[in-house]
Structure 1
């Protein structure tokens, strides 16, 4: 197993380097969605189990909202304005 990482200064370009920037943008977008719309920074859990349960509960609710929008034929599938708090 090898770790994917950008080439260091003076190293030749590594295979797959073109995928790092778009992949990072996707990950940052997902993190911002989780933190912004799901209020994951204010989860209210007191134990590790409680934090996991509350975070998974919110992710499941977001997934259900997107699924509902898809099944009801909404024109914008990820528009969650009606579900935002």
Structure 2
């Protein structure tokens, strides 16, 4: 913080940090923000991993279908 705001002296910076912590505690007690630093990604990690696995499975399946189509099409055109 001293690099971003070099014009502030140490006492002012300490006071700003104490005020920020006090305001954060007030909001946590009211329930406006969660008490832990859990993010949306961590909260829904299982759901997002499941959706990602389904998405990857569909991608592999569609690639396999297209590849099989090309192989069958190539074989059928080779036959007289």
TM-score by length of 2: 0.31
Higher relative contact order (CA 8 A, sep 6+): 1
